[in-house]
Chain A
Amino acid sequence: MLPEGSDLAFEGLQARVTIVRGLGGGTQGQVFEVDVAGERMALKWYFPNSIAADPNLERRLLASIQATAPNPSYLWPLALLRPAAGESTRLPLAVQSFGYLMPLRPPGYIGAHEHVGGLVDISLQTVMRSSFFLAEAFHDLHLRGLCYKDISLMNLFLEPSSGRILICDNDNVAIDGRDPGSVLGTPGFMAPEVLLRQARPGANSDLFSLAVLIFRLLTRHDPLLGSLELAIRCLDEPARRRLYGEDPVFIFDPRDDRNRPDPEAHPAALVTWPIYPAPLQVLFLQTFGIGMKSPERRALTGQWKQVLARTLDQRRLCPHCGQETFPDPAAPGRCWNCGRELGPGLALQLPHGLVQAAAGNELHPHHFDNLHPQGLGNPLARLESHPSRHDLLGLRNLDAHPWQALLRNGERLNVDPGQVCNLAPLTGLVTPSGPITLLR
């Protein structure tokens, strides 16, 4: 729509904006990479008919811009752009519209659908971290009194190396319960009461969509597609309305077994569900059980954050097959992958948490201070294997201060920031944040 290479002036913006290239389009408009005074940004430009269909869009966008991004996971609107007075004549009629500037999605992020479609190699830990970041993003959004309304796989991006996420298309965000807005959501992610138009989307329907997204990330399957789907020949709108609105049944609902996954048609759900520990499964059972029809009973963002953070702490590598597992530390049981006994493992006892000693696991400020919000953004330490001797496991000090390692022979060893200490000879460590005790 906006011609590539054109150089446009916008109201209230001193710098001119150069349209570098089109990045893609959706139903509402198109997104362009633009250059604003030497900085690359993204510009979403609306189709005139989508503005006409959504009279509150401009007011909502201005409110979001004023509110600023709730957390770094959002590609948040930064400024509303309208063509400057003289500029309209240079643009074709169809582009006399408006748009907004937002940060450009950095390289390295992939669409969440690539993971769900099985097109990328990714670790269970990374997917668990992405799920945590997603719960955290909704937590911070809801704490500001805002709601998202239309989350789906299409507006979620992941960085496979870190699990970090980016949420785009934030133009439907609104103050919970105030602006009716125009968007309802995306079938399959929408809460049943919204799909059936018995309720407007809001924070409680966001909780349903959040659970669907986390389920789809963790299982690569849809929580409501089981045997009931097999009875449907043509999966079209009326069929989806039944599955997701009129008669939604969670595929693992303990009280209703009509919609169990089929071993041939739905193997992903059956393979992945047993990987996850009971406290995590409980949040799905709650949201898709009693929470299906009672929006106020759905698992809250804070519960998801807490349980996902604890699940990450429980992560171990099977001593037999090397696969990632998340067993209950008190009763490890068998590996979900090879079926052999996991046995007891080395763990780190912290003032507010227990972290299994597995390469890749991290210690965070919330493990030492229970007033610190749960977060994965600033780890204090990371468990790592020795670069050549993989049987040696160490702890890297990511803190700004040196630590004291306590050796079994009573000696003390200085561990400077950035250094890794071998866990084998230790009984514990002393850090400014608090003590770390090794449990063997």
Chain B
Amino acid sequence: MAFPNVRLSNRPLHFIYLCDCSGSMAAQGKMQALNQAIRQSLPGMADVARENPEARVLVRAISFSDRAFWHIPDPTPVTDLVWTDLQAGGITAMGEALELVASQLSSPPMEERALPPVLVLISDGQPTDDFERGLSLLMRQPWAQKAVRLAIAMGHDADLEVLQQFIGPEPFPRLPEGEVPGASGHQPRMAARSRSPRRPLQASNATSLAQYIQWASTAVVGAASRPASRLGGEELHSNQNQSNIPLPDLPPTLMDPTDDIGPLVW
């Protein structure tokens, strides 16, 4: 005498961390901060997975330094995930990391039907290998084109241009007031623009890193699993909707010197 033993059919949602483990990550406790941020985010991610019966959230992770390796090779349900600490040391084989992801996003091994994958690239420096080759191999995969690609820049030495290339073309570059697009002959500085999930997220300290990891593993997973409540003000062809998944608002963060928060006093 019970409801039949059936459940909503679901699709896999692949969530892949690409973590920079180069030697510079050993400085200022950055490696420990990243390990902690990911570990602390897992219970919240498990809650979101439970709230979204239409998605089967599966997590993997890649670490890259001298070479790129699968840190978590098997797509693992978030409830079964145990985060083993990453260790820092070596250079920055970011291109090879993208190649590794590319090999897993072709079908097979990718399922025939899935939700858009979520790729989160975290780095504090510059790639030391052939990044362009890795990116081009990745972006040849239809699943990579459909993926939600996020990047977190740790500290101020991260190569924001490279991270932006991973994310894709940035939305509506905001020019200084009165400036005609293209007139200055150069791209406006990254720091002068407002925060957006379509730009590298600047994590200048452990707290903001933890907030961004939390946001990616909960709000973004939620948005990729199931459609969120929609506001009428959002135009159909607004920049938010250029991508195939409308991304949730970024978390309100503590003041970050590189974020455009406007003048403090006037």
Cα separation A44 to B61 with both chains bound (whole Å)? 36
Q: Are B51 and A154 in contact (CB under 8 A)?
A: yes
The number of residue pairs between A and B whose CB atoms lie closer than 8 Å in the complex comes to 137
Cα separation A265 to B52 with both chains bound (whole Å)? 17
Q: Are B8 and A187 in contact (CB under 8 A)?
A: no
5 inter-chain pairs at a CB distance below 8 angstroms, sorted by A residue, are A184-B230, A221-B8, A233-B114, A234-B113, A324-B1
CB distance from A182 to the nearest CB of B (A): 5
Q: Is B233 an interface residue (CB 8 A)?
A: yes
Q: A232-B113, A235-B113 are in contact. Are A240 and B227 (CB under 8 A)?
A: yes
Residue of A53, A114, A117, A186 touching B227 (CB-CB under 8 A): A186
Q: Are A124 and B113 in contact (CB under 8 A)?
A: no
Q: Are A183 and B231 in contact (CB under 8 A)?
A: yes
Q: Is B249 an interface residue (CB 8 A)?
A: yes
Known: A116-B7, A235-B115. 4 other contacts (CB 8 A): A119-B7, A186-B229, A230-B113, A234-B146
What is the interface of chain A mostly: helix, strand, loop, or mixed? loop
Contact residues, A358-404 vs B (CB, 8 A):
none
Q: Are A123 and B252 in contact (CB under 8 A)?
A: no
Q: How many chain B residues have a CB neighbour from A under 8 Å?
A: 40
Q: Is B166 an interface residue (CB 8 A)?
A: no
Q: Are A236 and B9 in contact (CB under 8 A)?
A: no
Cα separation A122 to B241 with both chains bound (whole Å)? 39
Cα separation A47 to B253 with both chains bound (whole Å)? 12
Residue of B7, B9, B230 touching A190 (CB-CB under 8 A): B230
Q: A122-B3, A271-B6 are in contact. Are A237 and B230 (CB under 8 A)?
A: no
Q: A183-B232, A322-B1 are in contact. Are A220 and B6 (CB under 8 A)?
A: yes
Cα separation A183 to B233 with both chains bound (whole Å)? 8
What is the interface of chain B mostly: helix, strand, loop, or mixed? loop
In the complex, per-residue mask of B225-242: 1 if CB is within 8 Å of any chain A CB, else 0: 011111111001000010
Residue of A216, A237, A266, A268 touching B244 (CB-CB under 8 A): A237
Which of B50, B54, B236 has the largest count of A CB atoms less than 10 A from its CB? B54
Which of A113, A190, A240 has the largest count of B CB atoms less than 10 A from its CB? A113
Q: Is A228 an interface residue (CB 8 A)?
A: no
On chain A, the residues within 8 Å of B51 by CB distance are 111, 113, 154
Residue of B5, B113, B230 touching A186 (CB-CB under 8 A): B230
Q: Are A123 and B3 in contact (CB under 8 A)?
A: yes
